[in-house]
Structure 1
């Protein structure tokens, strides 16, 4: 089983994140929800995102065998989430819905909200060739 992180893994994460971020990023509903969702709820969204990425990576990518590779495991979770945030940001920039210069909190909230499902797409596609 290959658990090293390489450019193929990064590409898979980007494709998976893109596949699930695009339909949600086009939704006006998600733009407005990000405006109205309190910061505490946004923190919960981030924790849920990271928790589900970690759970899926633990079960599928690492096949529940992380004891001697705990650092690699958490690094993979962090990279998957950070790449997802980057992909979501680029998609929102392309749609002119990422107002980082004028409303940075709103831009961050939109990114984090859309990254929740996108991060699951990212880690699922990343797991495809791990058998």
Structure 2
């Protein structure tokens, strides 16, 4: 059976999945430096790849290719999963003092987007573990 609603348990699962991948990657100096040197076009490509794979996984695994009557829930789940991931990654980077929003907001945004790509996949995979 597929999920029929989006509830607090789903939000917690997304948080845990995002956190599980955000933590090790956020502590990587390579990720910080990659974000600093990555051109904006590549950053947009990463963002598009994240959303594309979130969409594909959600369609195939979470909704089991059945979105006809639940398109709004489908789109909401993808957007919420990415936004929660973005927030979790921001918190992790902030906690290790690697989110320079005041001094260099572009670098801060780039770091969050770079680390959110794998973290968002962790988020949606953990969310898809339980099919009610």
TM-score band w.r.t. shorter chain: over 0.9
- What is the match of residue 96 of structure 1? 97
Residue of structure 1 equivalent to 2:79? 78
* CA-atom RMSD in angstroms: 0.7
TM-score by length of 2: 0.97
Q: Which runs of 5+ in 2 are unaligned?
A: none
In structure 2, the partner of 1:31 is 32
What residue number does 1:63 align with?
A: 64
Cα distance in 1 for residues equivalent to 2:96 and 2:68: 42
User: Which residue does the alignment assign to 2:3?
Assistant: 2
SS at match of 2:109: helix
Alignment size in residue pairs? 131
User: Once the 2 structures are TM-superposed, how far is the Cα of residue 94 of structure 1 from its aligned partner?
Assistant: 0.6
Q: In structure 2, what is the equivalent of residue 19 of structure 1?
A: 20
Q: Distance in 2 between matches of 1:66 and 1:7?
A: 21
